[in-house]
Amino acid sequence: MKRTPLFPLYTEHPGVRCIDFGGWELPGQFSGIGLEHAAVRERAALFDVSHMGEIWVTGRHAEAYVQQMTTNDVTRLTDGAAQYTLMCNTEGGTVDDLLVYRVTAERYMLVVNAANIEKDYEWLKQHLLPDVALEDRSEVTALLALQGPLAGTVLSQLIDDPAVHNLAPFHFLPEVAISGCKVLLSRTGYTGENGYEIYADAADAPLLWRALMQAGEPEGLVPAGLGARDTLRFEACLPLYGQELSLSISPLEAGLGMFVKLDKAGGFIGREALRQQKETGLKRKLAGIEMLERGIPRSHYPVYAEGRLIGEVTSGTQSLTLKRNLGLALLEIGHTAVGAEVEVEIRGKRLKAAVVKTPFYRRPLPGKGV
Amino acid sequence: MSVVKDNCVYSHEHEWAAGAEGQTVRIGISDHAQSQLGDIVFVELPQLGAKVDAGDSIGSIESVKTVSELYSPVSGTVKRVNETLLEQPELINEQPYEGGWIAEVEVEGQVDEALAALLTAEKYRELVE
Nearest by CB to residue B39, choosing from A17, A32, A295, is A32
User: What residue spans of A108-201 are helical by DSSP H?
Assistant: 117-126, 151-156, 162-165
In chain B the first and final C-alpha atoms are separated, in Å, by 8
Distances (CA, A) of A187 to A25, A106, A169, A184, A194: 27, 22, 5, 10, 8
Q: Which residues of A touch B65 (CB under 8 A)?
A: 28, 33, 227, 230-231, 317
Query: Is the model's pTM score more than 0.90?
Result: yes
Which pLDDT score is estimated for B1?
74
Q: Contact B64/A347, CB-based, under 8 Å?
A: no
Please give the domain boundaries of chain A with CATH numbers for all domains: 283-356 (2.40.30.110)
User: What residue spans of chain A are helical by DSSP H?
Assistant: 7-10, 33-42, 62-69, 117-126, 151-156, 162-165, 205-216, 226-235, 271-280
Complex confidence, ipTM:
0.88
Which pLDDT score is estimated for A96?
98
In chain B, the number of structural domains is 1
Mean pLDDT along residues B47-57 = 96
B38 located within any domain: yes
Q: Which residues of B touch A230 (CB under 8 A)?
A: 65
Phi, psi values for residue B84, rounded to 5°: -60, -30
Mapping DSSP to helix (H, G, I), strand (E, B) and coil, where does residue A361 land?
Answer: coil
Q: Contact B62/A318, CB-based, under 8 Å?
A: yes
- Strand intervals (E) in chain A: 17-21, 24-29, 45-48, 53-58, 81-88, 94-104, 107-112, 133-136, 141-147, 172-178, 181-186, 195-201, 222-224, 284-291, 302-305, 308-318, 325-332, 341-346, 349-356
The CA distance from A32 to the nearest CA of chain B, in Å, is 7
Chain A positions touching chain B (beta carbons under 8 Å): 17, 28-29, 32-34, 227, 230-231, 294-296, 298, 317-318, 320, 325, 347
Mapping DSSP to helix (H, G, I), strand (E, B) and coil, where does residue A11 land?
Answer: coil
Domain that holds residue B52: 9-128
Which pLDDT score is estimated for A368?
44
Distances (CA, A) of B117 to A11, B11, B14, B22, B25: 38, 9, 14, 19, 13
Contact A55, A65 (CB under 8 A): no
Taking chain A (370 residues) in runs of 10, the rounded mean pLDDT of each run is: 95 90 94 96 98 98 98 98 98 98 98 98 97 98 98 95 93 97 98 98 98 97 98 98 98 98 96 98 98 97 98 97 97 98 96 98 68
**What is the spatial distance between Cα A272 and Cα A122, in angstroms, rounded to a whole number?**
22
Which pLDDT score is estimated for A11?
86
Specify the amino acid at residue B73. Answer: P
Contact B122, B89 (CB under 8 A): no
Query: What is chain B's Cα-based Rg?
Result: 13
B1 located within any domain: no
Length of chain B in residues, anyone? 129
- Strand intervals (E) in A292-334: 302-305, 308-318, 325-332
Q: Which residues of A touch B63 (CB under 8 A)?
A: 33
**What is the spatial distance between Cα A298 and Cα A315, in angstroms, rounded to a whole number?**
6
Residue of chain B whose Cα is closest to the Cα of A15: B35
Nearest by CB to residue B64, choosing from A17, A231, A295, is A231
User: What residue spans of A112-204 are helical by DSSP H?
Assistant: 117-126, 151-156, 162-165
Count how many pairs of residues, chain A against chain B, have C-beta atoms within 8 Å.
42
Nearest by CB to residue B39, choosing from A34, A230, A295, is A34
Going by the DSSP 8-state scheme, the letter that residue A127 receives in this structure is: T
| Residue of A300, A326, A347 to mutate for B, most B C-beta atoms under 10 A | A347
Q: Which residues of A touch B41 (CB under 8 A)?
A: 296, 317-318, 320
Which candidate, A92, A121, A55, A21, places its Cα nearest to that of A247?
A: A92
The CATH code of the domain that includes B70 is: 2.40.50.100
